[in-house]
Amino acid sequence: EASAKLKDLADTRAELAKKKKEVQSKLGSAQKLLNTLTAQEKAALASEEQERATRASERVDLGNTKAASGRAGAAFAAAQSKIGSPYVYGASGPSSFDCSGLTSWAYAQAGVTIPRTSQAQANAGTRIYSQSDLQVGDLVIFYGDQHHVGLYAGNGQVLHAPRTGTVVRYESIGNMPFQFGVRI
């Protein structure tokens, strides 16, 4: 019986090694193709991706989730008014933002001062560990080192300033490693 299990394991390993080789080959081919593109073609591809993400953000269904409080609702409404604003590292509004710049600016519009960085914002209120307990306007902390933050928008969506080359937009909360929420 053990010999049969070992043979099955060896067969599975061989099959996985074959699949890995195929994937690496396809990845190598894709990289070669990408390397043949001019800077202008690469910029056009990046622009198309950004436009697709922005269009998807405009069509997002937020459902009927209610705001956590008047302040959270006001902060969320302020952030919504900045959809389409460009991401700029270190910016905190009113015309461009990084992730924590957007959230601190939005809460400031609601009359609430929160810390400027995502790591400090992670400790600014009551932690919520279950995504099902999140309410609109709650801060949502991502990644183990807590380097990204957004505002919960309802229906599994977050409103955030993702990264350089993007704009303030909605995105599925599942696209990043959720750590916890923070209710201000």
Active-site annotation, residues: 99, 148, 160
Measure the CA–CA gap between 119 and 162, rounded to whole angstroms.
16
Distance of CA 108 to the CA centre of its chain: 22
Structure tokens at 65: 């989730």
**DSSP label at residue 85:** P
Exposed, middle or buried by CB within 10 Å (0-12, 13-18, 19+), for 62?
middle
* Residue reference for tokens 């049969």: 4
Strand order in the sheet with 169-172: 126-128, 178-183, 139-142, 148-154, 157-160, 169-172
Residues contacting residue 27 through CB under 8 Å, at least 6 positions apart: none
Measure the CA–CA gap between 128 and 140, rounded to whole angstroms.
9
Measure the CA–CA gap between 87 and 79, rounded to whole angstroms.
13
